[in-house]
Copies of this chain bind each other. A is one copy, B any other.
Amino acid sequence: MDHHIDINLFDEEAVIDLALFFKIFGDVTRLKILFSLLNGEFTVTDLIGKLGISQSTISHQIGLLRRMNLVKSRREGKSIFYSLDDEHINSILLQGFTHISEKGKNQ
C-alpha cells in the first residue's frame, strides 16, 4: 500500500521541467520576493525598500519569475504591481519552511 509518485523516469522532459521549477526556489533573492508577494501586491520600488536589494537585481529576478509564470503583473501609471500567479507557491514554500524548522529543532 505504498504511496508512490507515478512519474516515469524515462520522461526526461518532465524531470527537466521539474528541476527547472524547483530551481526557482533555490535562490535567496527570489525567495524573499516570493515571500513578500505572499502578503499582497508590490512594485519593484516597494521591494527595493522592503528587501534592501538593488533595482536591477529585483527587476532581473522578478522578470524571471514572471517568465516562469509564478508571478503576474499589472501596470498602474508609472508603476507595475506584481503578485503571485500560482496556487501551489504558498503550499510549496510552507512545506519547505516546515522542513527547515524541524531540522533546526532536532539539531
Contacts of A67 in B (CB 8 A): none
Cβ A9 vs Cβ B28 within 8 A: no
Cβ B103 vs Cβ A96 within 8 A: no
Q: How many copies does the complex hold?
A: 2
Asked, given contacts A92-B92, A96-B92, A99-B86, whether A31 binds B5 with beta carbons under 8 Å apart, the answer is no
Contact residues of A with B, CB < 8 Å? 2-5, 7, 9, 14-28, 31-32, 35-36, 38-39, 50-51, 69, 86, 88, 90-100, 103-104
25 contacts between A and B (CB under 8 A): A4-B39, A5-B97, A9-B32, A9-B36, A9-B50, A14-B97, A14-B100, A15-B28, A15-B31, A15-B32, A17-B104, A18-B31, A18-B93, A18-B97, A19-B26, A20-B26, A21-B99, A22-B22, A23-B25, A23-B27, A86-B99, A88-B95, A88-B99, A92-B92, A95-B95
